[in-house]
Structure 1
Amino acid sequence: MHPRRSAQEVLLCDLCETVPLQSHCELCNINLCVNCAGKHVSDSSKRHNVVPFLHRKSTNYHKCPDHADKYCEIYCEKCDIPVCSTCALFGKHKGHEMSDILEKLSAKTESLQKDLEELETRIYPRYEEMSSNVETEKAEIETKYGKLTTDADEQGEILHREITAIVNLRKSAITEMKTKHLDALHKNTEEITQKMAELKQIMSDLKSMLKSNDVSLTSTYKSRNSEFRTLPPKVRVTVPSFSPQKINKDQLNEMFGSLPPLSINTEHGVAMKSAEAVTSPPVKPLLDEPRVTATIDTGYIQLFSVSCLSEDQVWTRGINKTMKLLNLQSELLTSIQTKSGDWPTDIAVTRDGDLVYTDYRDNTVNLIKNKQIQTVITLHGWIPRGVCCTAGNDLLVTMESDDGEQSKVVRYSGSTEKQSIQFDDQGRPLYSSGDIITFSGGVILNTKHLSENKNLDICVADNGARAVVVVNQSGKLRFRYTGHPSNTKQSFNPRGITTDSQSHILTANWDNNRIHILDQDGQFLRYIHCDLMFPWGLCVDIRDNLFVAEFDTAKVKKIQYL
């Protein structure tokens, strides 16, 4: 008979071993009597969770993968996994150091509890504080830059007509600095918000793990707390001061007052406690031989666009009014029809996971949230074409005038236009206009796909110009790419375009069925072949897998190239 049980099988307290048990500590996984329970919870170094014995969580033992009739009730210290008794005594774990799985579970549970407590009480509140401080600083910018603009106006009134041009020049510089200032702080906020979202998810996962009491989950848990103890970098931007000078008509430009360059500095994140330095994202080299890892049959007659919702789900649009969400097994998960009943011109997925599409029939840009279509932008005199969502959650839209004579890129925050990009410094059009695409099913206007790079460059695949046109975030032309210089026999005919975490620019060349990979400065790096047939739309997921929409086959190919 078990020494701790009487003839009536009375279960005794694990600590005193003399009094019948009444409670159970889920953290330490031990049974307690009334007196021992009081002493046990008095230990404030741990967050004990004592419950009535009948209400305790059951321990979930997993079946052994090698012995179907056995449960993994022993812990192999060498292999760091639960094993069954047969594996421990006679199988591949014979001779390994073993331990009590309940003791191991208790230690792991205690570690999880400590991590959760640190995240909830110390780390996450600091991120909240940093986010609040940045928002406060952003709110003060309007006043500070407003004063700069007022100072410039007062000087302009003194100098009257002779100084008007210089006034406008200074105001333009102030506005540009303000934009950069806000962009820098907005990017800082996004980094903090992203970390906060990760922390929330980790805390939620830990809570779920603690509730499940799952041996397999807890045994494989790896703490990430040290990663978050180092707070994100803090952006420090010095607002320039305006320095007016006395008027001298012979030197109006200098006398008007100088405006020093905007100073943007990033402080390294402050370690809360014994933190390691924050490391840069890993460099991913290009594969010598990219490979297709999945093929999705979309069911369209002809396919134009693909946009990633996740690693295994993509939105597609073809030659009808229906947009489809498909998985890697070609299964239809969701379908949405355009409000106008005509083809969507282009699609994109926002950072919140909502779908955006442009509609040339009613000149609108539409957002689909919870399967409900909301028209966020209605154009007058312009027809929307390509669309993409930026890191700042703005929308970039390529558009063409009703008469087909002009093209431009416009940035929107919600329904508000923030920026229009149409001409270079010499007043020449940046993008082609009035071009069309002819294919077996008829004729459509060129879409001009676009994508924002990691350095905030705006990259447009301009089919009419046979070029990739890249401007910086201010709309200044950086370069045009017109194909590999050594390849003179085949023309460059770009369709879809996307960018990845390494700031590569990838564009689909219709004429030679290849994907061109460029660096962020427009230097050709490599082709992707993979037996592509008329590649059109492109997108990359968060792991830099490339999805290619093939026009004629109406299939999407998932390609690993990094």
Structure 2
Amino acid sequence: MDPTRTSVQRPCDLCKTGEALMGCDTCLVNLCKACVGEHMMSGISKQHKIVRFAVRKSPLYPFCASHIKKRYEMYCNECDDPACNACLRTDQHLGHEFLQISHVLDEKKKKIIKEQTELKETIYPKYQNIASDVQNKMSQLEKDHADLSTAITKHGEDWHRNIEKIVKKLKNQVDEIKNKQRQTLQNHMDEISKTISEIKDEISSMERLINYMDITKLINVTTDIEGYKNPLQVAEPSLPKLALGKIKEEEFNKMFGGLSSCLSEEDGLDCSVKAEERSPEDDASLPLKQFLEEPEIMSTLETDYHLLYNVACLSDDEIWTTGQDKTMKLYSISQRSLLKSIATKSECRPSDITVTKNGDLIYVDTMDGTVNIVKNEKIRKLVKQKNWRPDGACSTSSGDILVIMNNNDNERTQVLRYQGSTMKQSIEFDDEGKSLYSSGPAKRLITENRNLDICVSDHKARAVVVVNQAGKLRFRYTGHTPAPKNQPFSPQGITTDSQSHILTADYINDCVHIIDQDGQFLRFITFGISEPLGLCTDTNDNLFVAEYRRKQMKKIKYLM
């Protein structure tokens, strides 16, 4: 390269050394001052237009890549490339159509101007609108999420208020129970004080008699000491057990509510986020089941009893039964076979059976007044209350035993709660001091509902009597009209299911009544049932029915 050219910003196209300060708009060449005259003399036929480089109107096109000293002047349409005059004569462009490069440039400029206009007037404003919209969305996002956080806080406050109401309600119940127990003990105290006063009077009277010397007076004197030898039995007051609802974190989260899923997990956009509205009363731990349109008899098992009385589920396949003899029998439904037989200790027919959550069998022996437990085929007495005899019993979710007792005078009936052999609670009267249950010889069976209500089937009263855990009356169910056979309600066996339904066998009407946990009638089960006595449900809410004269045990599906 010529070293003299390195300092020249724009070299002259003729001498290659001078700085091009001028230019020819006609020939489109750059010229230094020294070469202007020479260029004017060349191509005399042309009208050269020499101007200062700064004010040139026509561009100087680049030099041709193939012919270094020639500039592009034409544009080959076929090759879509610029060309110099020398290119036009080569075989490469033979027969091709050429356009003035200035014309091509003008068209290109027009296209650019058009696109520039579109960018300025259409596309740019559109992006500005989008940017504004995104900005508005961001502002709205802040507001919406703030509202969502506020809604979550409010929902939490609602739960706190509901929990506070529950706590207050439970504390009020504790106060009611305490006051009732205190009044009962005070009544006992008053009666005992009265008896003590009478005993003191009796002692004073006896002291005076001892000093009598007249045999005629002493020989006719009688004392009432026998009446004081059996003092009043005072029930041990006990606190009601606080049955704490245990909810796993996962189940608690479901009950409280959550956020719906976004459509795009990557960027979290295009999603509708809102809190799931769930009632605190919703039960997330167990699904809500609907009734089948028609109950289905899943299986029928023939027993070898002369008459069949009661059933109690050990598992979904193994069922304990009782009949008109001393033997309690365990059957397998799937195998349709007898697995085990156990005779009562007294050799009398058990009046009721239940199974603990540990799988032990408990039976009630009304004849000898005991409640007994069977462990490893060995029988041990759990309960025997003097002057009282048990009618029915059930094992509770907490492991306690509820026993319905009738006194030997057939004047009183009460429900007693036992932990092992220790009595913890007595339930006998309503708020008005009236007996909750009928008295005298009758069939009375008992169960605990999933909401911890105590449900008694009182055959003599023709009612199902339901009290809460503290013993406060909730409702009495006295049947539904019309009954399948239009006969009076004749409640016998009683059981509950996972939905807190209460199911009662109606012996005379050949049906099972289903009511909800508040005592509202829901429906009858009548299909294929004859003289039902005992009832129980398994973990899948299948119903087992003991049919009295048929001596059959039926497994019935009534929930979806």
| TM-score where L is the length of structure 1 | 0.51
Q: How do 1:442-521 and structure 2 match up within 5 A?
A: 446-487=442-483, 489-521=486-518
Amino acid at match of 1:547: F
For 2:293, what is the secondary structure of its paired residue? coil
Distance 1:282 1:357 in 2: 33
CA distance in structure 2 between the aligned counterparts of 1:401 and 1:484, rounded to whole angstroms? 31
Pick the aligned partner of 1:413 from 391, 395, 419: 419
Shift of 1:298: 1.5
Does structure 1 residue 300 correspond to structure 2 residue 282? no
Q: 1:11 maps to which residue?
A: none
Are 1:543 and 2:540 counterparts?
Answer: yes
Conserved? CA contact 1:298–1:330, under 8 Å:
no
Paired residue type of 2:437: Y
Of residues 385, 400, 411, the one that matches 2:406 is: 400
- Whether the aligned pair in 2 keeps the contact of 1:305 and 1:537 (CA below 8 Å) is yes
What does residue 197 of structure 1 align with?
none
Report the AA paired with residue 461 of structure 1.
S
Query: Are the aligned partners of 1:386 and 1:397 in contact in 2 as well (CA < 8 Å)?
Result: yes
Paired amino acid for 2:386: H
Question: Which of 308, 315, 329 is matched with 1:310 structurally?
Answer: 315
> Number of matched residues?
307
Quick one: distance in 1 between partners of 2:340 and 2:507?
29
Find the aligned partners of 2:482 and 2:342 in 1 and give their Cα distance: 44
Q: Corresponding residue for 1:378?
A: 384
In structure 1, the gaps of 5 or more residues are 1-144, 166-174, 193-229, 235-265, 270-275, 436-445
Deviation at 1:526, TM superposition (A): 0.6
- The equivalent of 1:330 in structure 2 is 336
**In structure 1, distance between residues paired with 2:380 and 2:304:** 26
Match of 1:195 in 2: none
Alpha-carbon deviation of 1:364?
Answer: 1.0
**Cα displacement (A) at 1:297:** 1.2
| Paired amino acid for 2:318 | Q
Q: Secondary structure at the match of 2:243?
A: helix
1:345 CA drift (Å): 1.2
What residue number does 2:530 align with? Answer: 533
* SS of equivalent residue, structure 1 residue 299: coil
Selected match of 2:551 from 544, 551, 554: 554
Shift of 1:374: 1.1
**C-alpha separation between the residues in 1 aligned to 2:399 and 2:256?**
25
Compute the displacement of 1:377 (Å).
1.2
Whether the 8 Å contact between 1:386 and 1:449 is mirrored in structure 2 is: yes
State whether residues 495 and 535 of structure 2, in contact with CA within 8 Å, keep that contact through their aligned partners in structure 1. Answer: yes
Q: Residues 268, 288 of structure 1: CA spacing in aligned structure 2 closer, same or farther, 3 A cutoff?
A: closer
* Residues 315 and 538, structure 2, Cα contact 8 Å, conserved in 1: yes
The partner residue of 2:358 within 341, 352, 359 is: 352
User: Counterpart of 2:504 in 1: which secondary structure?
Assistant: strand
Q: Is the 8 A contact 2:251 2:284 kept in 1?
A: no
How far is 1:486 from its partner?
4.4
Task: From the CA coordinates, give the structure whose radius of gyration is larger.
Answer: 2
Shift of 1:348: 0.3
1:296 is displaced (CA, Å) by: 1.2
Q: Secondary structure at the match of 2:556?
A: strand
Aligned match for 2:295, one of 290, 299, 310 = 290
Paired residue secondary structure (2:444): coil
Q: Distance in 2 between matches of 1:451 and 1:286?
A: 22
CA 1:321–1:486 in structure 2 vs 1: closer, same or farther (change >3 Å)? closer
Three-state SS of the structure 2 residue aligned to 1:520 is coil
How far apart in 2 are the matches of 1:332 and 1:513?
A: 27
- Residue 243 of structure 2 aligns with which residue? 183
**Structure 1 residue 268, shift from structure 2 partner:** 10
Deviation of 1:279 after TM superposition, in Å, equals 3.5
- C-alpha offsets along residues 141-164 of structure 1, whole Å, 9 cap, x if unaligned? xxxx9xx99xx99xx9xxxx9xx9
**What corresponds to 1:253 in structure 2?**
none
Alpha-carbon separation, structure 1, partners of 2:374 and 2:424: 22
For 1:268 and 1:379, the matched residues in 2 are separated by 50
Q: Any idea what the Cα deviations from partners look like across 1:444-489, whole Å, max 9, x if unmatched?
A: xx33111101111111110000011111111111111111144594
8 Å contact from structure 1 (residues 357, 366) kept in 2: yes
Report if aligned partners of 2:300, 2:553 keep a CA contact under 8 Å in 1: yes
Shift of 1:399: 1.2
d(CA) in 1 for partners of 2:324, 2:352: 11
Overall identity of the aligned pairs, in %: 50
Q: Aligned to 1:391, which of 393, 397, 408?
A: 397
Matched to 1:475, the amino acid is G
C-alpha separation between the residues in 1 aligned to 2:402 and 2:472?
16
1: CA distance, partners of 2:503 / 2:342: 28
In structure 1, C-alpha distance between the alignment counterparts of 2:409 and 2:293, rounded to whole Å: 46
Contact kept in structure 2, 1:422 and 1:430, CA below 8 Å? yes
Contact 2:240 2:470 (8 Å CA) reproduced: no
1:27-106 matches, cutoff 5 A: none
The answer (yes or no) to whether the contact 1:549–1:555 under 8 Å persists in 2 is: yes
2:474 aligns to what SS in structure 1?
strand
Asked if structure 1 preserves the Cα contact closer than 8 Å seen for 2:504 and 2:535, the reply is yes
